Amino acid sequence: MKHLFRAASAMAVAGAFALTAACGGSAGTTVGADQLDLAPLKVDAPTAAHLKDLYTKATDGGDTKIVAYMQGWEQYQKVWEAFEKRFPGITTKGLAINGPELSTKLSTERSSGKHVGSLLGGPDFQRKDVLRTLDLPTAATLDPAYREDSGVFYAPTTTVWGIEYNAEKVTGADVPKKWADLLDPKWKGRIVAGDATTPSATSGTLIRLYGGHAIDDAWLDRLKAQDVTFKSSLEIADQAVARGEFDILLTTLSDFYFPSKTKGAPIGFAFPLEDGNVSTPTYFAALKDGAAPEATELLMNWLFTAEAQQAFAGINALPTMPGAPAVQGLVPLDQVKLLDIPGPEEITSLWDPMTAKFKDVFGSPKG
Amino acid sequence: MTAGAPPHPGVRRRFPGRFPGRLVARARQIGPGAWALAVLCTVLFVWPVAMIAVAAFHDGLISDPGGTWTAGPFVETLSDPGTLAVLGQSVLLAGVVSILSMLIAAVFAWMVARTDVPLRGLVTPLMLLTMVSPNLFFAISWDMLGNPRVGLVNQVIMAVTGADQGPVDITSWPGLVFVCVLKAVGFNYFLILAPFLAMDRSLEEASLVSGMGKVRTFFRVHVPLLAPALLGALLMAFVSFLEAFDFPQIIGLPAGIRVFSTEIYRYISGDAGGRYAEASSLALVLMAIIVVLIAVQSRVLGRRRYTTMSGKSYRTERWSLGPVRWLGTAVIALHALLALVLPLVQLYIGSFQSFFGLYDNWTLDNYRRVLDDPDTINAIVTTFGLAFFGGFVTMFLCVVLAWVIRTRPGLVSRYIGGALWVTVTVPGIVLGMGIMWSFLAVPGLNQLYATVWIMLIGLVIAAVPVAVRTAEGSVAQIPPEFEEAARVSGAGRVRAFLGLILRLLIPSFGYGWLVAAILISGNLAVPLLLASPDVDTVAIEVLNLNRSGDTATAAALFGLLLAVWGALAVLALLARAVGRRLKENR
């Protein structure tokens, strides 16, 4: 009985230790700023000194865990790993939330005074009221198309949209070449899509295509007649095409397509399309009073360095800085017919009316 | 299944203090320890519920100073036709699941207690495994098994029939009911097995001697005799599935089935998120329904006497079912196949696929991804830490409270009984919400937000309804005089409890601890609102992976969790066997 009592006590204590360890997160070992090798970043001396200063402040304060609220954060995992390797001891973690869930998260953090999140990521200028401006010397030459005027949002990468298909079921001339091809009756019941009835990647693309006049009300009505199956997320729709449940994914972004393809999925990506494409910058912005502010600013700066831009290209994500490397498997953007679409702020204002319209046309998602 | 436990008997008693003076006098007699326990119960069990009630009338976050007090959202929620639809779907699900699962459980209990069906000895272990397996395991594995095109069930049917698409679609009303029933049968079986075994067989014998056949005896003797037990269990199952979250969230929502818990979550964090008052209003409605149901149950079962045992022994032989007994064996085998074998097989098959559903591309990458990801490892460590430490805290708390209720009748013990009863009425998702509101509203305590400790508190409270039943049962076996004897010998109250009473309770304490640990490790509803990027559990990770379409990695992670639990169970059995051997050798 005594042994049992001791064993029980030991297990409880082990559990308590595990909890305490879990509380501490997974912080790594830091180094002195002078030990940082910033040569691969290809930045000038003052910028390098600024980055080292940010690193020192972050590590001295022990506030080294960057938490990003962003759908699709994990698609860029290799990029974050490159950052963590360059700046030892600073860690990153993403939480895939947006829309109302993000608002709830931010409200509870503000209410408790405990700020867990560090930055937001996404295709729109959302929640500007909780974000701070940053002056990023590394992004000095960034095209204004990839930054917001007040210095809150910066896009180190942009993604292009196309039509994904199951390469074992759709071949040769059947592969869609324009958005209108999706209305062919032969695809009836064979198209899947992400949820277009809430703010999401799919609804965002449809809004942009609509704003760029590549699609219109008649196109939406005819698409409805195709009995498209809407899934609750683009990722789930992507998997459904990969395993052959459906032939065509209405639209997906290159940043989702390439990771699935790399994993061996039998899929293809129709890009560019004859009647025009959409390129959506992925903006990042730092939260006011966010966790790990110096580490966040360091990451934001690093995203526009040569090393980060190469890392984006390495995972087939289009980098935005002038002179950035080309992406294998994608036609360069200057050779693509890009639609003239509304700006991010106008897109943000279109979310509610357009998602309501999509809900009316398509109904609720299934699966 | 957190609401599966019955309310504590103490709640049926009425508060005796009718006059303020008498109450004050009695309150003065209560010692500081009892006061401390009463305060603890208030903070843990009563306060979160009170905060939900308060939040229903506050526009915006309860801790937000800019919010206003209004009954608008409460009235709107109640008058919203959507709420009625949610109520209808919730009642339909709970009703169908509880009735079907009770019928099936009754058949199994009858086979075990009264028949000669071969393999009946496997039923109890099978039901135990079904009962302790997390809801999430059934939800995820059947979500995979019942996929119309690539699920194992349809793959086999398509291979046999040559059809292009299988007939089974788990994301449907029948699918949701089927998976819920599979899980509920195990729980109901244990609720009604004891009455089946303890039934007075003289009545059965008299019926048979009077010329009634076995079928008529079953319906005219067994069923009426067991009706109260069946009714009680039926109501418990109904309450459990009225507040179910995991199954409706994973299997129901894709089919457009919305129930209370999923709707509450939607109002907080889903596509209708940020509507906190509406979420609280809906939670109040749900809790009110549960309170009424439990009150009805207590009234129905409390008023009448249902004697199923007698002092005389009229042992009758087991019924020989002849060749029909093999049908019973087939039913047992079928249940084992559907409830355990197929889900496990599908889970592990899926975990080795590069994409769930691709049967020609096997890989270990999913396991590699799980084991290489420090955040996932952190979630596993957190889950087991919460399970072991939280399970210990839960059982310790329940044993202390059960002991106080048993040995110190009076105002405080009645209050503690009532506070424990409150936990039965609070579904996991509502509990998570209540804790969040409670802690956010208090400066200082709000610093616990997004830490593992707030999640620990939530999970402990969620496990209390089940753990307290184990504690009550074991405490009832210890005479209060033991504590008195220890105190006469010079031990203080705390030392007497820890040194004597708790030690005597160690075997049942260990059992309760294990059950609480398993419940905690598989709980999805409570951590869903309390988790943060820093503090995650396996259940949350699995849900997120599944939601993002990475079903294969979700299967690998869950498969790993089950494997660890299995290994721990084997180790425990080995340790027990070695211990026995050593004892014998001595």
| Digit-coded pLDDT (tens) for B415-436 | 898 888 888 778 888 898 889 8
| Digit-coded pLDDT (tens) for B325-361 | 999 999 999 999 999 999 999 999 999 998 888 887 7
Same domain assignment for residues A300 and A201: no
Q: For residue A173, which amino acid is it?
A: A
Q: What is the mean pLDDT of residues B462-477?
A: 85
pLDDT band at A25 (very low <50, low <70, confident <90, very high): low
Same domain assignment for residues A151 and A64: yes
pLDDT band at A276 (very low <50, low <70, confident <90, very high): confident
Distances (CA, A) of B534 to A66, B324, B368: 10, 57, 22
Residue B524 DSSP code: -
* Domain of residue A59, CATH code: 3.40.190.10
- Chain B contact set for A14 (CB, 8 A): 388
Predicted local distance difference test score (pLDDT) of residue B5: 41
Same domain assignment for residues A47 and A150: yes
Q: For residue B481, which amino acid is it?
A: E
Angle between helix B538-547 and B135-145 (nearest 10):
20
Q: Is residue B242 part of a domain?
A: no
Percent of chain A with pLDDT over 90: 49
Predicted local distance difference test score (pLDDT) of residue B307: 47
Angle between helix B428-440 and B452-475 (nearest 10):
120
Contact in structure between B348 and B552 (CB atoms under 8 Å): no
Contact in structure between B252 and B241 (CB atoms under 8 Å): no
Q: Is residue A245 part of a domain?
A: yes
Q: Is the pLDDT of residue B491 over 80?
A: no
Same domain assignment for residues A355 and A248: yes
Same domain assignment for residues A77 and A221: no
Predicted local distance difference test score (pLDDT) of residue A28: 67
Predicted local distance difference test score (pLDDT) of residue B19: 53
Same domain assignment for residues A118 and A202: no
Q: How many domains does the structure of chain B reveal?
A: 1
Residue A156 DSSP code: E
- CA gap B343, B555 in Å, rounded: 11
Q: Is residue B567 part of a domain?
A: yes
Q: What is the mean pLDDT of residues A107-123?
A: 87
Q: What is the mean pLDDT of residues B489-511?
A: 81
| Digit-coded pLDDT (tens) for B287-297 | 999 888 888 87
Nearest Cα to Cα of residue A290 among A51, A5, A69, A60? A69
pLDDT band at B134 (very low <50, low <70, confident <90, very high): confident
Q: Is residue B441 part of a domain?
A: yes
- No. of helices (H) and no. of strands (E), chain A: 11, 10
What is the domain extent for residue B497?
360-586
Same domain assignment for residues A261 and A193: yes
Give which of B377, B436, B548 to mutate to test A binding, by max A Cβ within 10 Å.
Answer: B548
Q: How many domains does the structure of chain A reveal?
A: 2
Contact A239 B355 (CB under 8 A): yes
Q: Is residue B310 part of a domain?
A: no
Q: Is the pLDDT of residue B12 over 60?
A: no
Nearest Cα to Cα of residue B530 among B389, B442, B428, B444? B428
- Chain B contact set for A111 (CB, 8 A): 61, 63-64, 440, 446
B346 touches chain A (CB under 8 A): no
Which range (A337-341, B7-11, B425-429) has the least confidence?
Answer: B7-11
> How far apart are the CA of A322 and the nearest CA of chain B, in angstroms?
33
Percent of chain B with pLDDT over 70: 91
Q: Is B8 helix (H, G, I), strand (E, B) or coil?
A: coil
Q: Is residue A15 part of a domain?
A: no
Q: Is residue B539 part of a domain?
A: yes
- CA gap B338, B167 in Å, rounded: 17
Q: Is the pLDDT of residue A152 over 90?
A: yes
Q: Is residue A255 part of a domain?
A: yes
> How far apart are the CA of A243 and the nearest CA of chain B, in angstroms?
6
Q: What is the mean pLDDT of residues A307-324?
A: 94
Angle between helix A2-23 and B452-475 (nearest 10):
160
B189 touches chain A (CB under 8 A): no
Q: Is residue B463 part of a domain?
A: yes
Predicted local distance difference test score (pLDDT) of residue B191: 84
Q: Is residue A67 part of a domain?
A: yes
Q: Is residue A234 part of a domain?
A: yes
Q: Is the pLDDT of residue B40 over 50?
A: yes
- CA gap B256, A292 in Å, rounded: 41
Same domain assignment for residues A350 and A236: yes
Is residue B325 within a helix (H) or strand (E), and if so which, with residue range?
Answer: helix B325-336
Predicted local distance difference test score (pLDDT) of residue A264: 84
A163 touches chain B (CB under 8 A): no
Picking from A8, A107, A233, the nearest residue to B61 by CB comes out as A107
Q: Is residue A30 part of a domain?
A: no
Give the ipTM of the model, two decimals please: 0.77
A85 touches chain B (CB under 8 A): no
What is the domain extent for residue A345?
159-279+333-362
Same domain assignment for residues A197 and A304: no
* Domain of residue B370, CATH code: 1.10.3720.10
Q: Is residue B557 part of a domain?
A: yes
- Chain B contact set for A242 (CB, 8 A): 355, 358
- CA gap B118, B393 in Å, rounded: 41
- CA gap A128, B37 in Å, rounded: 47
- CA gap B201, B198 in Å, rounded: 9
- CA gap B414, B401 in Å, rounded: 11
DSSP letter for each residue of B61-79:
-TT-TT-EE-SHHHHHHHH
Contact A15 B532 (CB under 8 A): no
Is residue B570 within a helix (H) or strand (E), and if so which, with residue range?
Answer: helix B551-585
Same domain assignment for residues A164 and A50: no
Q: Is residue A261 part of a domain?
A: yes
Give which of A5, A91, A104 to mutate to test B binding, by max B Cβ within 10 Å.
Answer: A104
Q: Is residue A190 part of a domain?
A: yes
Q: Residue B76, Cβ neighbours under 10 Å: how many? A: 15
Residue A304 DSSP code: T
Same domain assignment for residues A153 and A172: no
Q: For residue A94, what are its two tokens?
A: 């993403």
Q: Is residue B278 part of a domain?
A: no
Q: For residue A23, what are its two tokens?
A: 């509380």
- CA gap A177, B14 in Å, rounded: 76
Strand partners, A67: A93
Q: What is the mean pLDDT of residues A16-41?
A: 76
Predicted local distance difference test score (pLDDT) of residue B15: 43
DSSP letter for each residue of A177-212:
-SGGGGG-GGGTT-EEE---SSSSHHHHHHHHHHHT
- Chain B contact set for A352 (CB, 8 A): none
| Digit-coded pLDDT (tens) for B375-394 | 888 899 999 999 999 999 99
A109 touches chain B (CB under 8 A): yes
Residue A248 sits at φ, ψ, to 5 deg, of -135, 140
